[in-house]
């Protein structure tokens, strides 16, 4: 018997965000929820303040103002600022470039301080924020239906979210649904994010599992700096096609190893997509596979992944031009552990790495909704046990089909465990700042056919 499942989808039109829901098989009434943006945006702005990343008001500050904003921060917490700023004193560097680099460094540290001392750094303020978001986003009728579908036997209820552009970063699992307690949506339902409509949706077939072992690209060498702390490298399990740490790879390596991989895990840097005019463009979001030398082989963009090398000679692959689906067929499960790897829905027409990898054959992609702080950055504010490194290992473990045949159930159970630890010992080490960023993006064509039996 299939679990009760509901599709919740939103769209922003004018000054209103519209949300509708529909149950698979028509097991409960469908509904519509209209939210005026003037009511929604303050809650979303509060969420943005709690998340990593430089905000517009920080970008607008000049160097002097940024220095004043950081005067009260303990010098030890400012981590690598002194090292980075020393680089700006290189007299061979043009003055404008030195000033720009100093300003960028200070903005980064101002944003880091805001986040690591903000709402998601403390259990009480995090719970209050998730309560305010839930009051705006979750209609009472839908919540009542989810609870009824779950019933006294705690039947698993699946909620697939197709988010509106304004709500692309909302951590739906964490929304607090208890008026008098701290009950979260993930404690009564299993949540995933549904992909946009895919060209492969008409195929209605699952890709066979592969037995070639995992393909892992872990912290490839590049000029953006290391992510994995040297002391935690040995914790990564051997086997499959795992790479040596800090090795430079390219798209040719992916073309060689992806076809036989049982799952693919990337843990490193993702480059934010920009068009030729410098505007954000999710289609240009890219895995950073190696040193940024200007060679396209070291950047694997969403657009390149989908289009392949048709129309070019494909010199970095050493083979005839082909479609992305033929060159880089993805295994059923893919995990992209990097900053804003799942930003597809920030565009009006969603397309990024997640959508591209689903088009290339993945059934599910685990990716992030916001920027991640490294263990070194968090360690400037609190002694931790490497929350990002630990989370990456746990996410990779979830990709193993033999250990976790039901990925949605496994991901949901993992998040409930992380929530329990956050409640028991609230700290930056257990904060959802790290683990709450991850969501499961699925190519679930069945979820769209909510009227099917």
129 phi-psi bin (left φ>0, alpha ψ -120 to 50, beta other): alpha
Task: Examine the domain organization and report whether 166 and 137 are in the same domain.
Answer: yes
Look at residue 448 and tell me if it is in a domain: no
Task: Examine the domain organization and report whether 419 and 283 are in the same domain.
Answer: yes
Instruction: Mark which of 194, 224, 257 sits at the end of a domain.
Output: 194
Of 81-90, 209-218, 421-430, minimum mean pLDDT range: 81-90
pLDDT, tens digit (0-9, with 9 covering 90-100), for 261-295:
999 999 999 998 776 666 778 888 999 987 755 44
Q: How many domains does the chain have?
A: 2
- How would residue 424 be classed by pLDDT, with cut points 50, 70 and 90? very high
Q: What is the pLDDT of residue 232?
A: 80
Look at residue 367 and tell me if it is in a domain: yes
For residues 335, 336, 338, 343, the Cα torsion angle rounded to the nearest 10 degrees is -120
Q: Which residue has the tokens 């990456």?
A: 392
Task: Examine the domain organization and report whether 175 and 324 are in the same domain.
Answer: no
Task: Examine the domain organization and report whether 419 and 297 are in the same domain.
Answer: yes
Q: Which residue has the higher pLDDT, 299 or 98?
A: 299
Distance of alpha carbon 43 from alpha carbon 35, whole angstroms = 12
Residues above pLDDT 90, as percent of the chain: 56
On average, the pLDDT of the chain sits at 85
Q: What is the pLDDT of residue 103?
A: 80
Q: What is the pLDDT of residue 72?
A: 61
Look at residue 453 and tell me if it is in a domain: no
Q: Which residue has the higher pLDDT, 274 or 153?
A: 153
Distance of alpha carbon 171 from alpha carbon 187, whole angstroms = 14
pLDDT at position 243 over 50: yes
Domain holding 228: CATH number? 3.40.50
Q: Which residue has the higher pLDDT, 230 or 403?
A: 403
Q: Identify the top-confidence range among 307-311, 325-329, 348-352, 431-435.
A: 431-435
Q: Which residue has the higher pLDDT, 343 or 81?
A: 343
User: Using an 8 Å Cβ cutoff, are 120 and 126 in contact?
Assistant: yes
Look at residue 386 and tell me if it is in a domain: yes
Task: Examine the domain organization and report whether 234 and 353 are in the same domain.
Answer: yes
Task: Examine the domain organization and report whether 232 and 92 are in the same domain.
Answer: no
Structure tokens at 228: 């994995």
Of 64-73, 211-220, 285-294, minimum mean pLDDT range: 64-73
Of 308-312, 368-372, 443-447, minimum mean pLDDT range: 443-447
pLDDT, tens digit (0-9, with 9 covering 90-100), for 126-137:
999 999 999 999
Task: Examine the domain organization and report whether 347 and 436 are in the same domain.
Answer: yes
Distance of alpha carbon 171 from alpha carbon 363, whole angstroms = 21
Look at residue 200 and tell me if it is in a domain: no
Instruction: Mark which of 142, 166, 194 sits at the end of a domain.
Output: 194
Look at residue 89 and tell me if it is in a domain: yes
What is the arithmetic mean of pLDDT over 97-112?
81
Q: Which residue has the higher pLDDT, 254 or 290?
A: 254
Length in residues, the chain: 453
Distance of alpha carbon 433 from alpha carbon 227, whole angstroms = 16
pLDDT at position 203 over 90: no
Q: Which residue has the tokens 């990925």?
A: 407
Model pTM score: 0.91
Helix count and strand count (H, E) for the chain: 16, 13
Instruction: Mark which of 155, 171, 194 sits at the end of a domain.
Output: 194
Look at residue 449 and tell me if it is in a domain: no
Domain of residue 179 covers: 1-194
Task: Examine the domain organization and report whether 274 and 125 are in the same domain.
Answer: no
Contacts of 253 (CB under 8 A, 6+ apart): 289
Distance of alpha carbon 296 from alpha carbon 8, whole angstroms = 38
Residues above pLDDT 70, as percent of the chain: 83
Look at residue 241 and tell me if it is in a domain: yes
Task: Examine the domain organization and report whether 174 and 279 are in the same domain.
Answer: no
What is the arithmetic mean of pLDDT over 372-391?
91
pLDDT at position 448 over 70: no
What is the arithmetic mean of pLDDT over 101-122?
89
Query: What does 33-91 look like in DSSP terms, one character per residue?
Result: EEEEHHHHHHHHHHHHHHSSS--HHHHT--HHHHHHHTTTS-GGGGTTHHHHHHHTT-T
**215: which strand partners?**
264
The DSSP symbol for 395 reads H
Task: Examine the domain organization and report whether 299 and 435 are in the same domain.
Answer: yes
Task: Examine the domain organization and report whether 409 and 263 are in the same domain.
Answer: yes
Q: What is the pLDDT of residue 88?
A: 44
pLDDT, tens digit (0-9, with 9 covering 90-100), for 316-337:
566 677 889 999 999 999 999 9
Task: Examine the domain organization and report whether 166 and 218 are in the same domain.
Answer: no
């Amino acid at each position: 018997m299939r679990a009760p499942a509901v599709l919740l989808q939103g769209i922003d039109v004018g000054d209103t965000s519209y949300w509708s829901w529909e149950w698979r098989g028509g097991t409960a009434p469908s509904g519509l929820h209209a939210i005026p943006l003037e009511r929604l945006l303050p809650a979303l702005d509060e969420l943005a303040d709690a998340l990593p990343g430089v905000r517009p008001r920080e970008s607008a500050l000049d160097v002097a103002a940024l220095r004043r904003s950081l005067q009260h921060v303990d010098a030890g917490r400012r981590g690598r600022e002194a090292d980075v700023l020393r680089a700006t004193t290189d007299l061979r560097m043009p003055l404008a470039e030195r000033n720009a680099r100093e300003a960028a460094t200070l903005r980064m540290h101002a944003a880091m301080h805001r986040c690591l001392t903000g709402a998601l750094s403390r259990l009480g303020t995090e719970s209050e924020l998730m309560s305010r978001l839930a009051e705006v986003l979750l209609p009472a009728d839908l919540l009542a239906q989810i609870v009824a579908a779950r019933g006294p036997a705690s039947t698993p209820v699946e909620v697939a979210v197709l988010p509106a552009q304004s709500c692309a970063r909302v951590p739906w699992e964490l929304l607090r649904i208890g008026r008098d307690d701290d009950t979260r949506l993930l404690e009564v339902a299993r949540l995933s994010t549904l992909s946009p409509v895919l060209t492969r949706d008409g195929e209605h077939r699952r890709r066979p599992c592969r037995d070639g072992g995992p393909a892992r690209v872990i912290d490839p060498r590049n000029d953006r700096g290391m992510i994995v702390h040297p002391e935690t490298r040995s914790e990564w399990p051997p086997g499959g096609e795992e790479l040596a740490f800090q090795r430079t790879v390219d798209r040719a390596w992916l073309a060689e190893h992806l076809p036989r991989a049982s799952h693919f895990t990337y843990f490193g840097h993702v480059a934010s997509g920009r068009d030729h005019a410098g505007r954000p463009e999710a289609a240009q979001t890219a895995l950073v596979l190696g040193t940024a030398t200007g060679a396209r082989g070291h950047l694997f963009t969403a657009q390149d992944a989908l289009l392949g090398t048709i129309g070019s000679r494909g010199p970095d692959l050493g083979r005839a031009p082909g479609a992305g689906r033929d060159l880089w067929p993805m295994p059923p499960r893919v995990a992209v552990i990097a900053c804003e790897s799942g930003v597809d829905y920030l565009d009006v027409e969603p397309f990024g790495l997640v959508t591209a990898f689903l088009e290339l054959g993945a059934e599910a992609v685990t990716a992030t909704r916001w920027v991640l702080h490294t263990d070194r950055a968090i360690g400037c504010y609190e002694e931790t046990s490497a929350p990002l490194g630990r989370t990456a290992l746990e996410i990779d473990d979830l990709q193993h089909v033999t250990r976790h045949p039901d990925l949605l159930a496994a991901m949901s159970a993992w998040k409930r465990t992380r929530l329990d630890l956050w409640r028991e010992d609230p700290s930056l080490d257990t904060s959802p700042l790290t683990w709450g960023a991850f969501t499961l993006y699925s190519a679930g064509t069945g979820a769209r056919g909510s009227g099917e039996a």
